[in-house]
Amino acid sequence: MTNPQVTNRNSQTFGPYSHLLPWPMLLNVELGPHSEMLVGSATVRVADVEFGWNHVGLEERVADGGIDWTRALSVVEHLCVSCSQANLLCFVQAAEAMSHLIVPPRAAHLRLLLAETERIVSHLQSASDIINAIGLPVQTTAMREVRERMINAVADWTGVRQQPGLITYGGMTHNMDEAATRSLSLAARHCERALRAQVIATINSRGIAGRLSELAVIKGSEALAAGLRGPILRASGVASDVRVSFPTGAYEDEAVTIIVQRTGDAFARLVVRLLECLESFRVIEQALDDLPAGPVRARGTHEMRTGKGISRVEGPRGEILCWVDGAPEGLRGIHLSAGSFPTLGILPGILRGIRIEDMPLVLLSLDLCLPCAER
Amino acid identity at 65: G
pLDDT at 3: 38
Choices 3.30.365.10, 1.10.645.10, 3.40.640.10, 1.20.58.1180: CATH for 58-373? 1.10.645.10
Q: State the pTM of this model.
A: 0.90
Question: Which residues in the chain come in under a pLDDT of 50?
Answer: 1-22, 35-39
- Say if residue 315 is exposed, middle or buried (CB neighbours under 10 Å; 0-12, 13-18, 19+): buried
pLDDT at 24: 53
pLDDT at 151: 96
- Say if residue 303 is exposed, middle or buried (CB neighbours under 10 Å; 0-12, 13-18, 19+): exposed
pLDDT at 1: 34
Amino acid identity at 99: S
pLDDT at 31: 63
Taking a C-beta distance cutoff of 8 angstroms, is the pair 326, 306 a contact? yes
| CA 146 from centre of chain | 18
pLDDT at 370: 79
